[in-house]
Amino acid sequence: GAVVSQHPSWVICKSGTSVKIECRSLDFQATTMFWYRQFPKQSLMLMATSNEGSKATYEQGVEKDKFLINHASLTLSTLTVTSAHPEDSSFYICSAERDRIYEQYFGPGTRLTVT
Amino acid sequence: TQLLEQSPQFLSIQEGENLTVYCNSSSVFSSLQWYRQEPGEGPVLLVTVVTGGEVKKLKRLTFQFGDARKDSSLHITAAQPGDTGLYLCAGAGDAGNMLTFGGGTRLMVKP
């Protein structure tokens, strides 16, 4: 298999606080993980590419100081939304690339609601 | 910038009908993947096509990669309510492993 987990599944936080989302590849090692954001009834929007042991590569328009990504090991990447605001409310999905064959396996997503 | 145009955006059909979803681009992709996503969940990989002209079948689903590797189609035969969901195509460029996603096709199959 190629299972990717995310934690938490959903989180509600107050404006101004920070939230950390974890993405784990459970049965394979992932040199590269990706973080996406998805708005209701829309497709996925790539936020950043996370590479183990190096800095993440952010897409244009994504604030790297607001969305902190750490890929500490071959099975774990974290996304921290700092000083969250209501407009950061969204569905955040991670994916992991297996075996460098350019297939991405997605986590179940994390629904973030900022009040 | 590589773009993938997916059509139709929405499709509502009766159980038993056939349908085709299209994914088109002016760019060449090294591979193209199809995913299905249900509400509140992450996308699930259905298939990857790599070779131009390639056809893959997954039960009632038939996937085709265009000869020039710029387009792809997903055909569902005798659709069932369980096929309801958001179908996404995504292409990988030669430059790397990043995926470009189409806008998605939201399919509803009525019993």
Kindly write down the DSSP assignment for every residue of chain B, as one continuous string: ----EEE-SEEEEETT--EEEEEE-SS--SEEEEEEE-TTS--EEEEEE-STT-EEEETTEEEEE-TTSSEEEEEESS--GGG-EEEEEEEE-TT-SPEEEP--EEEEEE-
pLDDT of res. B78:
98
pLDDT tens digit sequence for B12-30: 999 999 999 999 999 999 8
Q: Which chain B residue has its CA at the smallest distance from A42's CA? A: B103
pLDDT of res. A98:
78
pLDDT tens digit sequence for B43-79: 999 999 999 999 999 999 999 999 999 999 999 999 9
Mean pLDDT for A2-31 is 94
Q: Which chain A residue has its CA at the smallest distance from B43's CA? A: A106
* pLDDT above 70: residue A102: no
pLDDT band of residue B42 (cuts 50, 70, 90) is: very high
pLDDT band of residue A97 (cuts 50, 70, 90) is: confident
Q: Does B102 touch chain A (CB under 8 A)?
A: yes
* pLDDT above 80: residue A95: yes
CB contact under 8 A, A42 and B104: yes
Q: Which of B30, B44, B97 sits opposite A97 (nearest CB)?
A: B97
CB contact under 8 A, A93 and B45: no
**What is the amino acid identity at position B22?**
Y
Q: Does B92 touch chain A (CB under 8 A)?
A: yes
Mean pLDDT for A64-93 is 94
* A-B contacts at Cβ under 8 angstroms: 53
Euclidean distance between CA atoms A114 and A19, whole angstroms = 10
* pLDDT above 70: residue B1: no
pLDDT of res. B2:
67
Q: Which site among B1, B6, B98, B108 would you substitute to test the A interface, given the most A Cβ atoms closer than 10 Å to its Cβ?
A: B98
pLDDT band of residue A51 (cuts 50, 70, 90) is: confident
Mean pLDDT for A72-84 is 94
Which percentage of chain A shows pLDDT scores above 70? 97
Nearest Cα of chain B lies from the Cα of A46 at a distance, in angstroms, of: 8
